[in-house]
DNA sequence: TTGTATGCGTTATCAC
DNA sequence: GTGATAACGCATACAA
C-alpha cells in the first residue's frame, strides 16, 4: 500500500464516485448526506488513507484556531503558567503553540514574526529585557491581540503579580522576629518583576525602619550563591544582613547552598526567604518561607484577557495578589 | 491607518506597480530584481503593512518546517528534554510545537491527529500508558517520521535510558554500606520506564542478595508519601527496608516528607535514593543520591534519530547511559 | 440530496 | 528583468 503524498478530497471523491463537496461535507458534518453515500465516502476515506489537511483549511477559512505563547524559559514558574493557559484555552476550543525565547529580545522578535506569519489568533508573551512595545504594537495586526504576562511593559495589557502588599506583610513579619537588616538578591532591573520586587521592598523597609542592602546577579543558582557571599563580605560580621531574600526560586537554591557552606543555620543564624513556591520548599529543613505568586492563575487570567480582546472589547491590565507563605526559614519558631 | 485583514502580495504588487511574482521574489530573494523596483516593492511592503503568510506558503510548498513534540507533562525532566530538542532543532532550521498529553492515550491520540493534520514534518512522542504503536504507525503517513523518547514501545524507534547498569552500581554501593532491604516506590507498570526500573532493581537485588519490596502508587509527591508509609507498615520495625528508592523525582519529595514526619534521619536511620537529578537534590541536607538520566541528551538524540529518518534511512533505537550520582542520602559518610 | 466552480495567498513554470 | 497564470487542498455559494 504505497502512498507518496497524503491523498486529497479529490482522491476520496473519485474513489467514492461523489463530488469533493460531498466529501467535504461528510468530513465536517456541514450538511445532510444520504446514509449510503456517507458510508461510501467514509469507506473511501479509509481505503485512500485520507488525512484532513488543516493548513489548506486554514488558508481557506482565514483562521487557525491557534494561540501563540512565548515564555522566557521552561522553568517551574512558566510551566505552571502554561498549565493555566492550557486549561483555560481548552474550554475555549483553542490549541496553543509554545516557544521559549531566553532573555533575548532578538529571538523574541523573530518568534513574534513567526507567530503572525503563521496567522495565530492571539499571542501571549512574557516580555524579555529590551522588549519594544511600540514595535510590537505596530508589527502585530489588530486582529491578533497581544497580552503580556509575568512582566508589564507600558503600552500593552498585561497580567502580573502585585508584590507590594505581600512584601509589606513579609517585612512586618520579619521585623516582628527582630530582624534589622535585609539583604536582597535581584537580577537585572530591565525586567519589571525585579523592579517591582525592589521598590516594594524599599518601601516596606523604609516605613518599618529596616536596613536594606541590594545585590544584583545572574538569575541562576550560581548567581544566588555568589551574591550571598558578596552580601556578607560587604559588612563586618555584626553588621551583616540577618535575612537574605532571593527574588526568584533558582537564585534561592544558591543562597541556601551558600548558607550551608558558610556554616550558617538557616532560620537560626540567618533567615532566608524566597520568591515562588516549589514543592521542595516545604520539604526542606527548615521549610522555606516564600512570597508565592499564583502562576496557574496568571495563565488563566492571561487567557481571560485575550478572550476579551478577541471579542473586540477593551482590555485592562490585571494584577494578581501574591501570597505570603510563612514557614520556618524566616526564623519562625514553629508552624 | 485601518487595515482589516492583513494585505497580500496583490496589494503590494498593485501599490508598487509590479506583478505579484516580483513581489514574491523580492521577499524570498529568489531571483535577481532591479535595485529600483526592489526599493519600490520594499516601500510598498511597508506602506501596505504586508505580513508574509506562512500558511499559504505552506500549502503551496507542501511542507511546514515544523516538528511536533508531545510530552506527558511540563515537569522538570521533560522540560530538560525540550531544551535539548530545541537546541538541536535550531541547528537544523526547524521550529517545533509542543503539547502535553497528560497520562491519557485519548488525548495523545487526538494530538497526533492534530499534528498530522497540520502537516508536521515529524513527531517526537513520549508515549503514554495505553499507547497503540500499531495504530500510530498506520495513522501517521510515512513522510512524517515518528520517534519516541523517554519510554519505549515495540514497533517504533525510541531513545530511552539504560537503567540496568546504573542500578547495578547503585545496589552494589548500597550493599557495601550494609543495606539489606530496599523498598522501591513505582507508579504504573503500563509505562516502560517503570518496568525497566523494576526489572533492573530485581535483577541487581537478586544477584547481590538484597531483599526487595515494591510499592506502587500515583506518580506525585502524595503518592510517594503514602507509599513510604505503607512500605514501613508492611513490616515489623526490625524488618523494614533500610533504603527507600523513589522511581521519580516528585515521588521522592513525598518520601522525604514522610521520613521527616516519621522522625527518621535520612542517611542515618534510613537511606533514600531518587531518580532524576534536580538542583535542590544537591542543596538538600543530606544531599540526595540519585540515578541521573541525561534528559538534555535525550532530546538531542531524539532529534538526531528524527534527522536520520527524515533523510529516508533506517533508524535504530538508542539507549542513553544513566549516571549514578552518589551523595549522602544513601548513607555515605562523606562526599 | 448532490454537484460545479471560485477563491484563500502563495510559489513556480512559463513566456516575454 | 519582469509578468501571466496554474496549481496547492480545501470550504462554500450557487445550481441542479
Distance CA B258, CA B271 (A): 13
Report helix, strand or coil for B309.
helix
Q: Find out whether B328 and B335 touch, Cβ atoms under 8 Å.
A: yes
Interface of A with B in 146-205 (CB under 8 A): none
Summarised one tens digit per residue, pLDDT across range A293-315 is 999 999 999 999 999 999 999 99
pLDDT higher than threshold 60 for residue B101:
yes
Facing B98 at nearest CB: one of A6, A53, A98: A98
The answer to whether the beta carbon of residue B17 comes closer than 7 angstroms to any atom of strand D is yes
Domain with CATH 3.40.50.2300 in chain A: 162-293+323-330
pLDDT higher than threshold 60 for residue A36:
yes
Report the pLDDT value the prediction gives residue B2, as an integer from 0 to 100: 37
How would you class A237 by CB atoms within 10 Å of its CB: exposed for 0-12, middle for 13-18, buried for 19 or more?
exposed
| Chain A interface includes B63 (CB < 8 A) | no
Q: Where are the beta strands (DSSP E) in B165-304?
A: 181-186, 211-216, 243-246, 271-275, 289-292
CA B298 distance to own-chain centroid:
8
Distance CA B326, CA B335 (A): 8
Residues 53-112 of A with CB under 7 A from strand D: 53, 56-57, 59-61
Summarised one tens digit per residue, pLDDT across range B123-174 is 999 999 999 999 999 999 999 999 999 999 999 999 999 999 999 999 999 9
CB contact under 8 A, B253 and A53: no
pLDDT higher than threshold 90 for residue B227:
yes
Which residues of chain A have a CB within 8 Å of the CB of B74? 74, 79, 82-83
User: Average per-residue pLDDT in chain A?
Assistant: 95
Q: Which nucleotide is nearest to B41 (CA to C1')?
A: D2
Min Cα–Cα distance to chain A from B59, Å = 6
Summarised one tens digit per residue, pLDDT across range B262-303 is 999 999 999 999 999 999 999 999 999 999 999 999 999 999
Task: Over range B29-38, report the average pLDDT.
Answer: 95
> Where does B1-62 sit in CATH, by number?
1.10.260.40
pLDDT > 70: percent of chain B: 98
Distance CA A99, CA A74 (A): 9
> Where does B162-293+323-330 sit in CATH, by number?
3.40.50.2300
CB contact under 8 A, A62 and B116: no
pLDDT higher than threshold 80 for residue B333:
no
Domain with CATH 1.10.260.40 in chain A: 1-62
Point out the residue nearest to C8 (C-alpha to C1').
Answer: A60
CB contact under 8 A, B117 and A49: no
pLDDT higher than threshold 90 for residue B5:
no
Facing B53 at nearest CB: one of A54, A83, A117: A117
Report the pLDDT value the prediction gives residue A332, as an integer from 0 to 100: 82
Q: Find out whether A74 and B83 touch, Cβ atoms under 8 Å.
A: yes
| Residue A333: band (very low, low, confident or very high) from pLDDT cuts 50, 70, 90 | confident
Amino acid at each position: 500500500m504505497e502512498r507518496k503524498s497524503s491523498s486529497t478530497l479529490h482522491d476520496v471523491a473519485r474513489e467514492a464516485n461523489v463530488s469533493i463537496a460531498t466529501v467535504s461535507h461528510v468530513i465536517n458534518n456541514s450538511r445532510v448526506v444520504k446514509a449510503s453515500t456517507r458510508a461510501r465516502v467514509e469507506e473511501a476515506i479509509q481505503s485512500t488513507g485520507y488525512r484532513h489537511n488543516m493548513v489548506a483549511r486554514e488558508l481557506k477559512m482565514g483562521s487557525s484556531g491557534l494561540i501563540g505563547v512565548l515564555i522566557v524559559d521552561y522553568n517551574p514558574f512558566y510551566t505552571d503558567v502554561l498549565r493555566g493557559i492550557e486549561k483555560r484555552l481548552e474550554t475555549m476550543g483553542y490549541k496553543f503553540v509554545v516557544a521559549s525565547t531566553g532573555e533575548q529580545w532578538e529571538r523574541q522578535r523573530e518568534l513574534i514574526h513567526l507567530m503572525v506569519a503563521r496567522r495565530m489568533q492571539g499571542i501571549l508573551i512574557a516580555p524579555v529585557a529590551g522588549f519594544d512595545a511600540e514595535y510590537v504594537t505596530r508589527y502585530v495586526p489588530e486582529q491578533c491581540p497581544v497580552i503580556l504576562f509575568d512582566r508589564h511593559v507600558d503600552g500593552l495589557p498585561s497580567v502580573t503579580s502585585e508584590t507590594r502588599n505581600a512584601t509589606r506583610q513579609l517585612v512586618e513579619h520579619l521585623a516582628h522576629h527582630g530582624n534589622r537588616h535585609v539583604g536582597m538578591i535581584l537580577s537585572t532591573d530591565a525586567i519589571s518583576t525585579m523592579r517591582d520586587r525592589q521598590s516594594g521592598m524599599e518601601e516596606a523597609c523604609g516605613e518599618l525602619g529596616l536596613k536594606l542592602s541590594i545585590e544584583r546577579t545572574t538569575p541562576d543558582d550560581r548567581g544566588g550563591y555568589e551574591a550571598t557571599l558578596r552580601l556578607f563580605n560587604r559588612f563586618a560580621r555584626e553588621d551583616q544582613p540577618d535575612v537574605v531574600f532571593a527574588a526568584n526560586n533558582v537564585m534561592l537554591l544558591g543562597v541556601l547552598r551558600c548558607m550551608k557552606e558558610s556554616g550558617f543555620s538557616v532560620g537560626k543564624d540567618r533567615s532566608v526567604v524566597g520568591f515562588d513556591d516549589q514543592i521542595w520548599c516545604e520539604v526542606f529543613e527548615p521549610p522555606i518561607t516564600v512570597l508565592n505568586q499564583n502562576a496557574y492563575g496568571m495563565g488563566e487570567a492571561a487567557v481571560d484577557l485575550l478572550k476579551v480582546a478577541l471579542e473586540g472589547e477593551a482590555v485592562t491590565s490585571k494584577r494578581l495578589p501574591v501570597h505570603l507563605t510563612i514557614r520556618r526559614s524566616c526564623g519562625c519558631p514553629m508552624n
